[in-house]
Structure 1
Amino acid sequence: MVTIKDVARISGYSPSTVSRVINHSGYVSIKTNKKIKQVMKQLDYVPNAIAQDLSKGKTHKIGVVLPHLRHSYFSQMLLGIMDAALQTEYSVTLLPSEYDSNLEMHYLEQLKRKEYDGLIFTSRGISLSQLTQYTKYGPIVCCENPGNKHLTAAFSDRKAAYIQAFTWLKDHSIAKIVFLFSRPATVSMTTQLTLDWFAQVYGHFPANKHIITNVTTPQDGYRAAQTIAMKDNTVQYFFTNGDDIAAAVRQYYVDQHLPVPGLIGQNGQVASVTLNIPTINHHYAQIGRQAFKLVVSPELKNQKIKIKADFVLNNQLFKNL
């Protein structure tokens, strides 16, 4: 394998002079530059990109920590991140975690070793305090409201939309509502806040039997509908965590020739249009784009960008096409 020392030896110049030519740094005469490049071409020498990046203190790589891609939250977020990255010189490395705190700490250690220029946490298993401790090693952006933590963030400002949705349900005398969540309230702030906001409108929390967790895919939604239908035929509405999941709930009732309960979806997907059901649009792709902008802009450290979620009764996703 040809090295920079080989180029220096054959060209007759020092390794430091060859390095200046490769990295376009410092003064090198036109004659010297031409000679060294001729030798590089002759030897088919390819500079070590990793070494070059390290010498510049940049890898031009952003790590995106995401538990999985089974839910539209993560796929839409990633779509926005990739869209923003394609407009820059940065590449994106996906870092799957399944909420494994050991894996997430490993990714933080990689940031500490400068293997990435920054990390985006779309969701997390470790604490916000642990994330905060690693911000001294490079930019870290989280996609949730970090509260009073000194963290950079881009996230959905969802409270108003949820209050509006629950108020609409209450105004329509909807009392028995099943909630579908990805994770239980003990580990998910989103789940806990959703239940808190429901209680703020209704004056009480939903019955435990009407809270189903570990729902991330349409298949999970279908099974959740089956579980509820076998136990309680008086349910009036499903408040789901995705339009595609709401569609799967509906399909179970259709398959069993049962009356279909009311449905509220989330994420503003095509399913909410085709089924003509209310949805909560969190604009996750926009959040992903903002998160990427923040992670590659150190001067924006500790900024918190809120993207307002919308409760949409009549989804007109294609209106402006």
Structure 2
Amino acid sequence: MTTIRDIARLSGYSVSTVSRVLNQQNYVAPATRAAIQRVIRQLDYAPNAVARTLSSGRTWNVGVVLPHADHPYFTQLLHGIVRAAFAANYHIVLLPSKWEAELELQYLEALRQHAYDALIFTSHGLPLSRLAAYHPAGRIVICQNPGTSPLPAAYAERTATYVAALQRLRAHGHRRVGILTSRPLAVSATTQAMVGAYEQVFHVGLPPERLRTGVITAADGEQAARALMAQAQPVSAILSNGDDIAVGARRAYLAAGQPVPELIGQEHQLSGEVLGLPTIDHHFETVGARAFGLAISRAPQNVAIPSELIVP
């Protein structure tokens, strides 16, 4: 079986120089690189991936724990992660979780066993304290404000923009505002931020019936809108968790022949742009790229990306 030493002998260069070419490292002259690559092709040599992992101490794999890909929060994060990984010659392994604790624990144990160089949790079902317990065994990055958690994090700074969006609705005379979110208040930092912003702007608690959770797709937005329409005091405005979802809600009102509430979407999607909806852009592709950068570094750093309220 051909080895790296055979390539070095036939090319006339040292083993260390051949190794730099195989690992796509710099500091090799173009002519030298070409000569070594010519010998590699002649010998039809393929590096042993397991041996390279053992010798380097890296797998060059980063696991991305992803509950689902039905909402732009996750797809935009993933785009940013993949773009950054491609530039750094890393592989991304998608780890579907559905927020199930047992699955997340399996991925954490795989990290402990060095199956991945790092894990990025785009969201999580386990509490942060449980994730942090695994941090000494491997690099773990989260995509939310870490609060007091020691985990490195890249996240969108949302609160100020949620406040600005709700202040806009209040300035337009709205007092009965509905909020659409993906997950329940007790487990979702995003839902907590939206509801907290409502309370800050309106100085009262959000009535439970005006918070519609489990909303991920445009069809979910339609269903949530029908539930809001059925209430004794219908809402006059909706802060949605996606432009597509806001469009779904609009479709439900139009189908019922009801006045469409003022709508504010999120994630700056094409559907909202076509309809001229105000939206909140959290720049999740940038968040994803920064999360990947933290995953392959060793800096105990938190990166907050400001979000932006866009009004056509």
Normalising by structure 1, report the TM-score: 0.83
Distance 2:165 2:103 in 1: 37
Between 97-106 and 220-229, report the one with greater CA deviation.
220-229
Structure 1 gaps, min length 5: 12-19, 26-36, 315-321
Structure-1 residue corresponding to 2:19: 24
Structure-2 residue corresponding to 1:108: 108
Structure-2 residue corresponding to 1:190: 190
The alignment status of 1:259 with 2:254, answered yes or no, reads no
Distance 2:293 2:221 in 1: 34
Superposed CA deviations along residues 150-170 of structure 1, whole A, max 9, x for unmatched, are 111100111111111111111
SS at match of 2:70: coil
Between 247-256 and 109-118, report the one with greater CA deviation.
247-256
Distance 2:161 2:90 in 1: 34
State the percentage of identical aligned residues.
Answer: 39
Tell me if structure 2 keeps the 8 A contact 1:240–1:265. Answer: yes
- The letter for the 2-side match of 1:311 is L
Q: Structure 2 matches for 1:245-256, cutoff 5 A?
A: 245-256=245-256
Structure-1 residue corresponding to 2:302: 304
Query: How far apart are residue 283 of structure 1 and its match?
Result: 0.6
Query: How far apart are residue 255 of structure 1 and its match?
Result: 2.2
Distance 2:17 2:127 in 1: 43
Query: How far apart are residue 254 of structure 1 and its match?
Result: 1.7
Structure-1 residue corresponding to 2:117: 117
Superposed CA deviations along residues 137-185 of structure 1, whole A, max 9, x for unmatched, are 2221110010122111100111111111111111222011111110111
- The letter for the 2-side match of 1:24 is S
After superposition, the CA RMSD in angstroms is 2.5
Tell me if structure 2 keeps the 8 A contact 1:70–1:216. Answer: yes
Structure of larger gyration radius: 1
Query: How far apart are residue 61 of structure 1 and its match?
Result: 0.5
Q: Structure 2 matches for 1:57-72, cutoff 5 A?
A: 57-72=57-72
SS at match of 1:175: coil
- The letter for the 2-side match of 1:182 is S
Distance 2:187 2:40 in 1: 60
SS at match of 1:64: strand
SS at match of 2:124: coil
Query: How far apart are residue 55 of structure 1 and its match?
Result: 2.4
Q: Structure 2 matches for 1:83-94, cutoff 5 A?
A: 83-94=83-94
Query: How far apart are residue 50 of structure 1 and its match?
Result: 2.0
Distance 1:274 1:40 in 2: 52
Task: Assess, with a 3 A threshold, how the Cα gap between structure 1 residues 235 and 135 changes in structure 2: closer, same or farther.
Answer: same
Structure-2 residue corresponding to 1:127: 127
Number of residue-to-residue matches in the alignment: 288
Q: Structure 2 matches for 1:1-321, cutoff 5 A?
A: 24=19, 46-232=46-232, 234-298=234-298, 300=299, 302-314=300-312
Task: Assess, with a 3 A threshold, how the Cα gap between structure 1 residues 52 and 306 changes in structure 2: closer, same or farther.
Answer: same
- The letter for the 2-side match of 1:166 is L
SS at match of 2:204: coil
SS at match of 2:82: helix
Superposed CA deviations along residues 4-33 of structure 1, whole A, max 9, x for unmatched, are 7xx99xx9xxxxxxxx689839xxxxxxxx
Structure-1 residue corresponding to 2:30: none
Query: How far apart are residue 194 of structure 1 and its match?
Result: 1.6
Query: How far apart are residue 47 of structure 1 and its match?
Result: 4.0
Distance 1:49 1:185 in 2: 45
